C-alpha cells in the first residue's frame, strides 16, 4: 500500500484524488444548485395544491365516459355515413380523455380517492382492453431520477437521434393496438395459464404500456400481483366474450369494426402526444433533474388544442416531471404561479412550447440530421 502510494505525484495543496474530487464537485455544483433552486421554488409555491379533489376526478371521468360511449353507440347505429363519422370522432376524443386517467391512476394515493382505480378499470380499462396494471408499476420507473432517458426507462427512446422512418413507424404501430390487445387477453392469457414458460414471457414482454422494446417487466408480488390477476382475468373475459358475440352475430361486424377503429384512433392520438411529450434527445446518459425537465414539454395557454390532444393535465408534462405528485387539476394553477414568479430566463420557461406542429417539426428535423 505504501509503495504504491509513493509512486503517485502529489500536487501542492493536497492529494491528486482530492483535486479530482474537488473538480468533479465544482463542475456538478451548478447543476445541483439549479436543480435544488427550481425544486424548492416549485414545492413552496404548490404546497396547497397537492390534495386531489374527488368531485373533479369522478365528475370528469363519468362525463367523459357518458359522452364517449354515447357517441360510440351513435356511430355504430346511425346513418348517413357522415353522421356516424362525426359521432365516431366525438367518441374518440371523449374516450381518449377518459383513457388518459390511467396516468392519474398510476400516480394518485389511492386512499385519497377511494374506489377510483376500480371505477376507472370498470368504466374504461376493461372495456378498452387496457387495464391499469399495464401502466402501474411501469410508469413510475420513467420517473425514477437515475432511470429517466436511460436504457432502463420503459418509456423512453432517443427518437430525435434515430432514423427518419422511426417517427411514422412509431405512430403507425399504435394503430394496431386494439388487435394487440385482443391477442394479449383473448389468446395469450388463456395460453399462459397452461404453460409457465408462456406466462413468464407474457409478464415480461407483453404486460406493459411501454415504448422501449428492450424493456422486460418483473413479475409483481403481493397485493400488486393479486390486483394484476383480477384485472387480467376481467380483461381476458371481456375480450373472449366480445369475439364470441361477434362470431355468433350477436354483435354486428360493423359495430365491432367501429369499436376497433375508435380504440385505434385514440391510441394513435396518444402516440402523437407521446411524440411531443419529450424532446427525446438523450442517448442513455443519466440526467440531472433540470436536464430531465428541459427534455420534457409544457404546452400552456394560450394554445387551445392541447385540451383535446393532451387532456387531463398532459399538456403540462414537463411540470409533471418536476412535481409528479400534483393532481392533474392543479397543474394549470401551479404553472401560472411558477411562470409569474420565475424570471423569463429561468430553466422553467425553456420547457414551454407553443404547440404540436413546431414540436413535431423539431423532432423530424432531428431524425433527418441522423439520416
Q: What is the pLDDT of residues 227-274, one digit of tens each?
A: 999 999 999 999 999 999 999 999 999 999 999 999 999 999 999 999
Cβ atoms of residues 146 and 289 within 8 Å: no
Calpha distance 266→214 (Å, rounded): 25
pLDDT of residue 298: 97
CB 80 within 8 A of CB 70: no
pLDDT for 370 equals: 59
* Alpha-carbon gap, residue 53 to 284, rounded angstroms: 37
- Residue 343 has a pLDDT of 87
Res 145: pLDDT: 87
Q: Residue 213 has what pLDDT?
A: 93
Neighbours of 182 (CB within 10 A): 18
Cα–Cα distance, 302 to 304 (Å, whole number): 6
pLDDT at 12: 30
Q: How confident is the model at residue 19 (pLDDT cuts 50, 70, 90)?
A: very low
For residue range 324-335, what is the model confidence (pLDDT) as tens digits?
999 999 999 999
> Other C-beta atoms within 10 Å of 180: how many?
14
- Please list, in sequence order, all residues whose beta carbon lies within 8 angstroms of the beta carbon of residue 64, skipping any fewer than 6 positions away: 94, 95, 97, 98
What is the tens place of the pLDDT at every residue in 37-48? 788 889 999 999
CB neighbour list of residue 54: distance below 8 Å, 6 or more residues apart: 113, 116
Least Cα distance to 274 among 321, 310, 304, 306 occurs for 310
DSSP for 91-109, written as a single string: HHHHHHHHHTHHHHHTTS-
Confidence of residue 21 (pLDDT cuts 50, 70, 90): very low
The overall average pLDDT reported for the chain is 90
Instruction: In whole angstroms, give the CA distance from residue 31 to residue 349.
Output: 17
pTM over 0.85: yes
Set of cell numbers at residue 132: 391499469
For residue 3, is pLDDT > 60? no
Which of 298, 289, 274, 276 is CA-nearest to residue 350?
298
Q: Nearest 5 degrees, angle CA 194-CA 200-CA 205?
A: 120
Amino acid at each position: 500500500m505504501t509503495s504504491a502510494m509513493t509512486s503517485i505525484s502529489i500536487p501542492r495543496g493536497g492529494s491528486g484524488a482530492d483535486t479530482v474530487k474537488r473538480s468533479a464537485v465544482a463542475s456538478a455544483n451548478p447543476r445541483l444548485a439549479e436543480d435544488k433552486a427550481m425544486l424548492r421554488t416549485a414545492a413552496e409555491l404548490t404546497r396547497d395544491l397537492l390534495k386531489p379533489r374527488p368531485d373533479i376526478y369522478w365528475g370528469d371521468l363519468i362525463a367523459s365516459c357518458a359522452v364517449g360511449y354515447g357517441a360510440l353507440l351513435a356511430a355504430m347505429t346511425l346513418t348517413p355515413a357522415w353522421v356516424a363519422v362525426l359521432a365516431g370522432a366525438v367518441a374518440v376524443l371523449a374516450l381518449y380523455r377518459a383513457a388518459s386517467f390511467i396516468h392519474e391512476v398510476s400516480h394518485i394515493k389511492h386512499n385519497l380517492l377511494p374506489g377510483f382505480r376500480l371505477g376507472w378499470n370498470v368504466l374504461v380499462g376493461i372495456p378498452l382492453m387496457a387495464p391499469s396494471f399495464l401502466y402501474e408499476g411501469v410508469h413510475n420507473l420513467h420517473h425514477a431520477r437515475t432511470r429517466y432517458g436511460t436504457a432502463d426507462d420503459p418509456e423512453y427512446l432517443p427518437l430525435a437521434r434515430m432514423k427518419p422512418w422511426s417517427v411514422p413507424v412509431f405512430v403507425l404501430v399504435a394503430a394496431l393496438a386494439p388487435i394487440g390487445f385482443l391477442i394479449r387477453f383473448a389468446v395469450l392469457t388463456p395460453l399462459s395459464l397452461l404453460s409457465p414458460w408462456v406466462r413468464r414471457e407474457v409478464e415480461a414482454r407483453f404486460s406493459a404500456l411501454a415504448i422501449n422494446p428492450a424493456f422486460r417487466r418483473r413479475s409483481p408480488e403481493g397485493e400488486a400481483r393479486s390486483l394484476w390477476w383480477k384485472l387480467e382475468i376481467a380483461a381476458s373475459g371481456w375480450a373472449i366474450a366480445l369475439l364470441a358475440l361477434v362470431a355468433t352475430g350477436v354483435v354486428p361486424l360493423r359495430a365491432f369494426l367501429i369499436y376497433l377503429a375508435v380504440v385505434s384512433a385514440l391510441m394513435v392520438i396518444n402516440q402523437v402526444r407521446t411524440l411531443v411529450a419529450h424532446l427525446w434527445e438523450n442517448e442513455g446518459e443519466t440526467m440531472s433533474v433540470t436536464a430531465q425537465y428541459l427534455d420534457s414539454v409544457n404546452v400552456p395557454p394560450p394554445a387551445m388544442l392541447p385540451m383535446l390532444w393532451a387532456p387531463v393535465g398532459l399538456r403540462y408534462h414537463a411540470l409533471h416531471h418536476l412535481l409528479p405528485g400534483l393532481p392533474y387539476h392543479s397543474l394549470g394553477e401551479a404553472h401560472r404561479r411558477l411562470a409569474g414568479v420565475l424570471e423569463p430566463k429561468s430553466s422553467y420557461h425553456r420547457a414551454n412550447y407553443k404547440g404540436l406542429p413546431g414540436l413535431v417539426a423539431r423532432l423530424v428535423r432531428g431524425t433527418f440530421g441522423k439520416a
